[in-house]
Amino acid sequence: MAIPHPRDIQLAVVNWLDDRYPFTKAVDEALYQRVPNFANAFYYCFGGMVFILIVLQLLTGVFLSFYYVPDAGTPGNSPAYNSVLFIQNTQYLGWLIRGTHFWGANLLIIMVLIHMARVYWTGSYRAPRELNWIVGVIMLLCILLLSLTGYLLPWDNKAYFATQVTIKIGGLTPPPQLGALIREILQGGAVVGPATLQRFFTIHVFLLPALIVLLMYVHFRFIRAHGISEPM
């Protein structure tokens, strides 16, 4: 018997799957799209870089959550802080996963701003693409909120007092009654404490990632519907 070429095995697997659901057709329709020549420039890649960075954040975030403990504990003995120390110093490659998540978050904001600047300079926000600009701005807010909530999770002094400052700023929303309400809701109590960590963890890990994935899907469907905007 002749030994098959790897491609024959690959074809056999794909054919088996295609007989049961038209995967090839679905993937072709989703991915094979002609890119116009004017979009063949490096500054049209910034949005894709943002996408890759978000995927990287999702993956490293899941990896971090295997060891992170969202429990403030008691003063001087905080499982949250200890688990971050464990990831950083003890767990194999933990420094790399956490470092990638940290620097990825910083890079992400930079890339989002560069992507936004490109969209502005090529006038890609104009009719009929306004909705996509709006979705993009909401995602920018999501990413800023992710940065804010993620900053508290190590539960060290820097995290604690930085969050105290940002919550105070949120509490300045006029009128004062509304400001106090916002502060109370964010803090989950009268002061920044264990309840705040729990809330920020849930927002950072469950709420915002789900929202941003949903919005990314909407963002990409809009792009497919409109096509890439022509330069001015």
Partner 1 sequence: MADAAAPKRVTRRTFLGWWMAALLTSTVVTALAPLLLYLWPAPPKSQKKGLLTISVPKPLSQLADGEALKFDAPSNPNSAFIMADGGGDNAAGELAFGGYAVNNKGKIDVFAITCSHLGCSIALNEQARRFDCPCHGSRFNLDGTVLRGPAPAPLSHLTWKEGTDPNTIQVDGIVLGF
Q: What angle do CA 66, 68, 72 make, to 5 degrees?
A: 150
Copy the structure tokens of residue 209: 């990632």
Which of residues 24 and 90 has its CB atom nearest to partner 1 in the complex? 90
Which of residues 101 and 199 has its CB atom nearest to partner 1 in the complex? 101
What number of chain residues touch partner 1 (CB under 8 A)?
18
Q: CB of 58: closest distance to partner 1 in angstroms? A: 14
Which of residues 2 and 232 has its CB atom nearest to partner 1 in the complex? 2
Binding residue for partner 1 (CB under 8 A) from 39, 49, 51, 67? Answer: 67
Q: CB of 154: closest distance to partner 1 in angstroms? A: 18
Which of residues 3 and 232 has its CB atom nearest to partner 1 in the complex? 3
> Helix or strand or coil: residue 164?
helix
Which of residues 6 and 174 has its CB atom nearest to partner 1 in the complex? 6
Site string for partner 1, 34-63 (x = CB under 8 A): -----------------------------x
Please give the Cα distance from 76 to 73 (Å, whole number). 8
| DSSP state letters, 179-225 | HHHHHHHHHTSSSSSHHHHHHHHHIIIIIHHHHHHHHHHHHHHHHHH
97 burial type by CB count under 10 A (0-12 exposed, 13-18 middle, 19+ buried): buried
Judged by CB under 8 A, the chain residues 78 through 117 that form the site for partner 1 are 86, 90-94, 96-97
Q: CB of 73: closest distance to partner 1 in angstroms? A: 13
4 binds partner 1 (CB under 8 A): yes
| DSSP state letters, 44-97 | GSHHHHHHHHHHHHHHHHHHHHTT------BTTB-HHHHHHHHHHHTSTTHHHH
Q: What are phi and psi of 161, to 5 degrees?
A: -75, -30
Count of H helices and E strands in the chain? Answer: 10, 0
Binding residue for partner 1 (CB under 8 A) from 23, 38, 43, 66? Answer: 66
Which of residues 7 and 20 has its CB atom nearest to partner 1 in the complex? 7
* Residues near partner 1 (CB under 8 A): 1-7, 63, 66-67, 86, 90-94, 96-97
